[in-house]
Structure 1
Amino acid sequence: MFTERADAFVAPDYSTGPVHHRGQGLVPRQRAAFVESDGDQQSWPSSRPDMYATDWSPRRRRRKGRRRARGTGRTLSIMLVVSAAVGGAGFVAVSGEDRPVTATTTVGAALQPKASTPPAATRGRVRAAPVPSPPVSAKPASPKVTRPPKPIAGLNQTQMNNAAVIVKVAQEKDLPRRAMLVALMTGLQESSLRNLANTTIPASLDRPNEGEGDDFDSLGVFQQRPSQGWGTVAQLMTPRYAANAFYERLLTIDDWESRSLGEAAQAVQRSALPDAYDKHEERAVKLVDALL
């Protein structure tokens, strides 16, 4: 018969409730009892029944995060409620441990039907047709070529070109037709509408010219004199400058518009032959008509 010595055995603090080990994540193991018989310490014979099998039956460890429904009537349910009526939003309701949990989710754009007609705000509007892009092979437009005016009867192309410059300068200065006639009549009388150099002024011979004269120091289409303050040799040998200088002097005469065309020309030029300008009026009119 075995006798148990109280001073040789200290029982560990084991709890007989399974919750104790379950709460700490421990797997209960079979308890071993040590007894002393005739001075020798030995364990219970293996042939004897396990007296702790009922209290300490081993349990399998469950994987973390996995839960199983306990008891009858305790289920885990997931309910998906999709509401397409307002904004395409839905709710997911999760019921577990008898506590409903709700979370908002967004329904994908695939659940929204595609509109087959344009929105009401754009119906009835006039839609502009798309502007076709120019073809790649299209050639850029060539610049417009200005052809010289065709000369009228009795004049060559050089004379016609000088007449065109006189009319053009008057247009740029916003002068009336009458001013153009006065200037053309003056040019026809003084040089026959040619840009003349002067043999007494060598510098004029180095400038582009269309003939030569020798009257004092007169130069250009209007035979203006550098000594009388009309300009330099280079300036007076330029038809555009010469025409502009003539119009500036004409505008200084207060009553030039009320005078006859010949008288207005004489007031500017102060020629020794004051009546010589009138004979060119008819041709001046034809020039203006051809150039305007």
Structure 2
Amino acid sequence: MRDDGTLDDPYAPSSPTADTEDSTSTERTTTATRLRAYARDLTGRRRAHVALATGVVCCLGLAAVAQVRDDGAGPARTDSLAGSAELVQRAEQQTASRGLDRSATPSTPAASPSSSADPDTAKRARKAAPAPPTDPAPVAGLDEDQMENAEAIVRAGRDMGVPRRGLVIAVATAMQESNLYNVASGVLPESQNYPHQGVGWDHDSVGLFQQRSSSGWGPVGRLMDPEFATRQFLSALEQVPGWQRMRLTDAAQAVQVSAYPEHYQKHEWRAVRVVDAIVPSGR
């Protein structure tokens, strides 16, 4: 209804100016709304595309890196595995070998000369040492002191490597010279300062073999030592050519130069018995 009381005709054409303005405003609003919706839609799609592309690139990069690492580590890993297997095999072989060497029992067959032996268990062959003299009871009419002196002679000779014949000659000589007693000299009071078993008066002769310091046999104190005196006698005996084939009395006389050269011979049988008692035959 208009202001003048006239009813509007709904089917009557509207005013051109008003219609034009209303239509223009509506179209602008609709267009702006559509543009904003399109922009939002376009922005969402772009973000989705960017995210998708980024995910694809990351996956492709990881796959490439994994492939490169796998390709580069392939030979090294193969070599490492092969080396580890070889070390394990060697360790097992060494363990088995040492176990057999160390756990051998008397029933195990001996290894052949050509087989290699563990240096830890290999034994070197040792040269058999001469059996030491025994300490027997006195024989051949000797007393304890005489037997001990005879043993000292035999021990010294054995240490020098003198054969049995030389031991017999030395014992027989001491039987003749001192009756197997370590005798000091009344002419040399110095000799009585050392252990002795009697005093003699045959010039300056001392000890088991009645050796004279003035003749170059050695210092008085050393000559009173049965071992030293024996070494002096046997060293001189070994300088006599062919002494082993001589009669006992001739060999002894070549060293002692006694006024009674034949007296040594009578002691041979006793000397043999004494040496045999101290060093049994075959030793």
4+ aligned runs moved over 3 Å, structure 1: 56-70, 93-96, 100-103, 105-109, 117-122, 129-132
- Structure 1 match to 2:239: 252
Q: Give the Cα–Cα distance (whole angstroms) in 1 for the partners of residues 238 and 196 of structure 2.
A: 28
Structure with the higher helix share, 1 or 2: 2
Where 2:155 maps in the other structure, the secondary structure is helix
Residue 151 (structure 1) aligned with residue 124 (structure 2): no
Question: Residue 119 of structure 1: CA displacement?
Answer: 10
Task: Count how many residue pairs are aligned between Structure 1 and Structure 2.
Answer: 207
Q: Which moved more, 1:199-208 or 1:250-259?
A: 250-259
- Stretch deviating more after TM superposition (255-264 or 274-283): 255-264
Question: Which stretch shows the higher mean deviation, 226-235 or 164-173?
Answer: 164-173
Q: Deviations over 1:131-152 (max 9, x none)?
A: 89xxxxxxxxxxxxx8961233
Matched, 1:128 2:94: no
170-179 vs 277-286, which deviates more?
170-179
Alpha-carbon spacing, 1:277–1:94, altered in 2? closer, same or farther (3 Å): same
Q: After superposition, what is the alpha-carbon deviation per residue over 1:16-56, rounded to whole angstroms, capped at 9, x for unaligned? A: xxxxxxxxxxxxxxxxxxxxxxxxxxxx99xx637334225
CA distance in 1, matches of 2:63, 2:151: 96
Moved more, 212-221 or 157-166: 157-166
Superposed CA RMSD in Å reads: 4.5
Q: Which moved more, 1:146-155 or 1:157-166?
A: 146-155
- In structure 1, what residue type is equivalent to 2:35? M
The structural deviation recorded for 1:225 is 0.8
TM-score by length of 1: 0.56
In the alignment, structure 1 residue 289 sits paired with structure 2 residue 276: yes
Q: Considering fraction of residues, name the structure with more strand.
A: 1
**Aligned 8 A contact 1:190 1:221 in 2:** yes
Identify if the C-alpha distance between structure 1 residues 174 and 55 changes in structure 2 by more than 3 Å, giving closer, same or farther: same
Amino acid at match of 2:216: G
Q: Given the alignment of the two structures, is residue 273 of structure 1 paired with residue 260 of structure 2, yes or no?
A: yes
Could you tell me whether the CA contact under 8 Å between 1:148 and 1:161 is conserved in 2? no
Question: Cα distance 1:172–1:103, how it changes in 2: closer, same or farther (>3 A)?
Answer: same
* Structure 1 stretches lacking a partner, 5+ long: 1-43, 71-75, 78-92, 133-145
Q: Decide whether aligned partners of structure 1 residues 50 and 210 sit closer, same or farther in structure 2, where only a CA change above 3 A counts.
A: farther
Matched-pair contact (CA < 8 Å) for 1:195–1:239: yes
Give TM-score scaled by structure 2 length: 0.58
Q: Which runs of 5 or more structure 2 residues have no equivalent in the other structure?
A: 1-27, 106-131
How big is each residue's C-alpha offset from its partner over 1:178-235, in whole Å with a ceiling of 9 and x where there is no partner?
2111111011111122211112212111112222222211100101111111111011
What residue number does 2:214 align with?
A: 227
**Per the alignment, do residues 251 and 69 of structure 1 end up closer, same or farther by CA in structure 2, a change over 3 Å counting?**
closer
Q: Percent of counterpart pairs with the same letter?
A: 32
The structure with higher relative contact order (CA 8 Å, sep 6+) is 2
**Superposed, which structure 2 residues align to 1:94-173 within 5 Å?**
94=63, 101=67, 103-104=69-70, 127-130=100-103, 149-153=135-139, 154-173=141-160
